[in-house]
């Protein structure tokens, strides 16, 4: 039995949290590998340091030293503390050099991900020495040392599962077998030439799944600050309940459309090897949480969970009889999606193609589609949109779900800008103005889940 356990930022956010996390690891009898996020707030601080060339970097490196030393104080024996301090200073010195280099360089985008990856390099070291002080044979491992191979655009990497698996079998495979516990940095992998590339914010969940896939784990556990995958974000809907058992498809749809509890790409590497994913609460380790696996849901409730993706814009392209010009549709979508831009919804009519895109991508998308001006008659953009994703038990078989959902939306007077129904067996997606999204989520929860 091999377990991969991933711990998020709040589970490592202070000395106390690290203490709790290290107890959870120590009491786990299975052979295991650990994947860590940065301590909460650290990735944001690193991004801030890149945006400010004058004052932040120096002060920030000192603050990071303080934060990690504070977490370690009183939780390491003398020898481990001494070893930890030497290695922490070494890593911080490298960060200092990297930030200096970053601010001197014109072409910065290529080292942005390296800077962002530093939080995980520091937290993995801290947790390791706390564990060693509790007699756990922990070993700090960087993604490049274990061989997580990635490619793609900066900030949006994808792991090469086959290459990574080969590497992991050679690097951590034997360690795990012998009972050592690698403490692996989450959030990034490396291109073949060694450059770090991150998996996007919240990407350590995906790292956990990539490692689980690579070592053929029996279980992947995502340890966070809530008790499992819930029927809605508990910050928006305080009455949200834990969903005990979930199908891979349901979890993947909800994560993609905004349920922050899992990085959108976490499910795929686990599902490929049929590895169950458990979402557990570090602060209530004995609670069941959520088990995500290959399960066919039996249609008893209308909806099981709702999520929302904000900061979207709806772009509409008009051209008479666009529907009769499939090559134009393809050209527009290719131009929209170049550079890795995600399309969250698409719909067409005789003369319109509408897409929901991240608002941050609009300037580049408009520039690209400008090249198609001879084919397109006009383009409109509606900003401040949100996509609602409602997941239910076999939605397609459950007649009348859409009517019930839209009755609620109409009742609170929210305008539906786009609808995507039937594309997924489990999810019904639609776009409303951001200002109404929270009301829609709360009302749907109250009517059909709560």
Q: Residue 214, interface with ligand ASP (CB under 6 A)?
A: no
Region near ligand ADP per CB under 6 A, out of 21-29, 77-85, 233-241, 422-430: 233-241
Region near ligand ADP per CB under 6 A, out of 132-140, 147-155, 184-192, 225-233: 225-233
> In angstroms, rounded to a whole number, what is the distance separating the alpha carbons of residues 316 and 347?
9
- Interacting residues of 183 by C-beta distance below 8 A, sequence separation 6+: 34, 36, 124, 127, 128, 131, 138, 139, 140, 141
Binding partner of 43, given ligand ADP, Mg ion, ligand ASP, none, CB within 5-8 angstroms per partner class: ligand ASP
How many chain residues touch ligand ADP (CB under 6 A)?
A: 20
Q: Residue 154, interface with ligand ASP (CB under 6 A)?
A: no
* Angle separating helix axes 434-448 and 401-411, nearest 10 degrees: 120
Strands 2-7 and 219-224: parallel
Contact between residue 112 and residue 154 where contact means Cβ atoms under 8 Å apart: yes
Q: Residue 208, interface with ligand ASP (CB under 6 A)?
A: no
Q: How far is the CB of 222 from ligand ADP (least distance, A)?
A: 7
Q: Which of 57, 154, 202, 214 binds ligand ASP (CB under 6 A)?
A: 202
Q: Which of 41, 152, 200, 234 binds ligand ADP (CB under 6 A)?
A: 234
Q: Which of 3, 4, 5, 9 binds ligand ASP (CB under 6 A)?
A: 9
Contact between residue 313 and residue 379 where contact means Cβ atoms under 8 Å apart: no
Q: Which of 235, 296, 298, 399 binds ligand ADP (CB under 6 A)?
A: 235
Query: Residue holding tokens 């795990």?
Result: 176
Give CA 164 to chain center in angstroms. 19
Q: Which lies closer to ligand ASP via its Cβ, residue 22 or residue 37?
A: 37
Query: Residue holding tokens 């003398």?
Result: 78
Q: How far is the CB of 10 from ligand ASP (least distance, A)?
A: 9
Q: Which lies closer to ligand ASP via its Cβ, residue 132 or residue 263?
A: 263
Return the structure tokens found at 342: 């995600």
> In angstroms, rounded to a whole number, what is the distance separating the alpha carbons of residues 102 and 115?
8
Q: Residue 119, interface with ligand ASP (CB under 6 A)?
A: yes
194 class by beta-carbon count within 10 Å (0-12 exposed, 13-18 middle, 19+ buried): exposed
Site for ligand ADP in 20-59 (CB under 6 A): 37
How many chain residues touch ligand ASP (CB under 6 A)?
A: 12
DSSP for 340-379, written as a single string: GPPPSEEEE-SSEEEEEEEGGGHHHHHHHHGGGTTT-SEE
Site for ligand ADP in 129-158 (CB under 6 A): none
Site for ligand ASP in 58-117 (CB under 6 A): none
Long-range contacts formed by 100-106: CB under 8 A, 24+ apart: 100/57, 102/50, 103/53, 103/57
Site for ligand ADP in 315-354 (CB under 6 A): none
Q: Residue 269, interface with Mg ion (CB under 5 A)?
A: no
Binding partner of 158, given ligand ADP, Mg ion, ligand ASP, none, CB within 5-8 angstroms per partner class: none
> In angstroms, rounded to a whole number, what is the distance separating the alpha carbons of residues 175 and 171?
7
Q: Is 211 in a helix, a strand, or coil? A: helix
CB atoms within 10 A of CB 103: 14
- Nearest residue to ligand ASP by CB is 204
Q: Which of 140, 189, 202, 289 binds Mg ion (CB under 5 A)?
A: 202
Q: Which lies closer to ligand ADP via its Cβ, residue 190 or residue 255?
A: 255
Q: How far is the CB of 255 from ligand ASP (least distance, A)?
A: 13
Q: How far is CA 20 from CA 159, 171, 403, in A?
A: 30, 28, 47
Q: Which of 225, 245, 421, 425 binds ligand ADP (CB under 6 A)?
A: 225
Q: How far is the CB of 442 from ligand ASP (least distance, A)?
A: 27
> In angstroms, rounded to a whole number, what is the distance separating the alpha carbons of residues 112 and 73?
31
325 class by beta-carbon count within 10 Å (0-12 exposed, 13-18 middle, 19+ buried): middle
Q: Residue 207, interface with ligand ADP (CB under 6 A)?
A: no
Site for ligand ASP in 286-305 (CB under 6 A): none
Q: Residue 203, interface with Mg ion (CB under 5 A)?
A: no
Q: Residue 157, interface with ligand ASP (CB under 6 A)?
A: no
Q: Is 80 in a helix, a strand, or coil? A: helix
422 class by beta-carbon count within 10 Å (0-12 exposed, 13-18 middle, 19+ buried): exposed
Q: Residue 143, interface with ligand ASP (CB under 6 A)?
A: no
Convert residues 175-194 into a mask of x (bound to ligand ASP by CB under 6 A) and - (unbound). Answer: -----------xx-------
> In angstroms, rounded to a whole number, what is the distance separating the alpha carbons of residues 148 and 139?
17
Residues that bind ligand ADP (CB under 6 A): 8-11, 37, 202, 224-226, 229-230, 232-235, 259-261, 305, 307
Instruction: List interacting residues with ligand ASP (CB under 6 A).
Output: 8-9, 37-38, 43, 119, 186-187, 201-204
Residues that bind Mg ion (CB under 5 A): 8, 202
């Amino acid at each position: 039995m091999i377990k991969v356990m991933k711990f998020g930022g709040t589970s490592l956010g202070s000395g106390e949290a690290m203490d709790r996390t290290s107890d959870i690891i120590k009491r786990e009898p299975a052979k295991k590998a650990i994947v860590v996020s940065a301590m909460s707030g650290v990735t944001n601080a690193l991004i801030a340091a890149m945006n400010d060339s004058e004052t932040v970097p120096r002060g920030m490196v000192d603050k990071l030293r303080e934060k990690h030393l504070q977490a370690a104080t009183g939780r390491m024996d003398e020898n481990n503390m001494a070893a930890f301090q030497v290695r922490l200073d070494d890593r911080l010195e490298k960060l200092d050099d990297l930030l200096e280099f970053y601010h001197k360089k014109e072409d910065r985008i290529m080292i942005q991900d390296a800077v962002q990856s530093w939080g995980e390099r520091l937290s993995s070291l801290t947790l390791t020495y706390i564990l060693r002080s509790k007699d756990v044979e922990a070993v700090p491992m960087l993604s490049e040392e274990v061989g997580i191979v990635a490619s793609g655009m900066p900030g949006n990497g994808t792991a090469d599962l086959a290459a990574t698996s080969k590497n992991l079998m050679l690097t951590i495979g034997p360690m795990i077998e012998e009972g050592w516990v690698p403490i692996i940095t989450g959030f990034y992998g490396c291109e073949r030439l060694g450059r770090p590339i991150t998996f996007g914010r919240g990407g350590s969940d995906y790292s956990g799944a990539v490692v689980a896939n690579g070592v053929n784990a029996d279980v992947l556990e995502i340890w966070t600050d809530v008790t499992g995958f819930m029927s809605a974000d508990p910050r928006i809907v305080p009455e949200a309940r834990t969903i005990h058992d979930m199908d891979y498809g349901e979890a993947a749809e909800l994560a993609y459309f905004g349920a922050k509890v899992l990085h959108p790409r976490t499910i795929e590497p686990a599902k490929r090897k049929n590895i169950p994913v458990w979402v557990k609460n570090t602060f209530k380790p004995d609670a069941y949480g959520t088990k995500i696996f290959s399960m066919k849901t039996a249609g008893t409730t209308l909806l099981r969970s709702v999520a929302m993706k904000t900061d979207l814009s709806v772009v509409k392209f008009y051209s008479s009889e666009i529907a009769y010009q499939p090559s134009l549709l393809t050209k527009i979508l290719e131009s929209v999606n170049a550079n890795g831009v995600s399309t969250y919804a698409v719909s067409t009519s005789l003369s319109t193609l509408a897409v929901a895109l991240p608002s941050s991508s609009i300037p580049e998308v408009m520039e690209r589609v400008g090249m198609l001006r001879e084919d397109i008659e006009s383009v409109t953009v509606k900003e401040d949109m949100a996509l609602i994703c409602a997941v239910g038990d076999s939605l397609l078989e459950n007649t009348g779900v859409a009517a019930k959902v839209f009755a609620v939306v109409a009742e609170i007077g929210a305008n539906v800008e786009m609808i995507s129904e039937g594309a997924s067996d489990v999810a019904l997606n639609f776009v409303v103005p951001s200002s109404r999204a929270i009301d829609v989520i709360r009302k749907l929860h109250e009517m059909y889940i709560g």
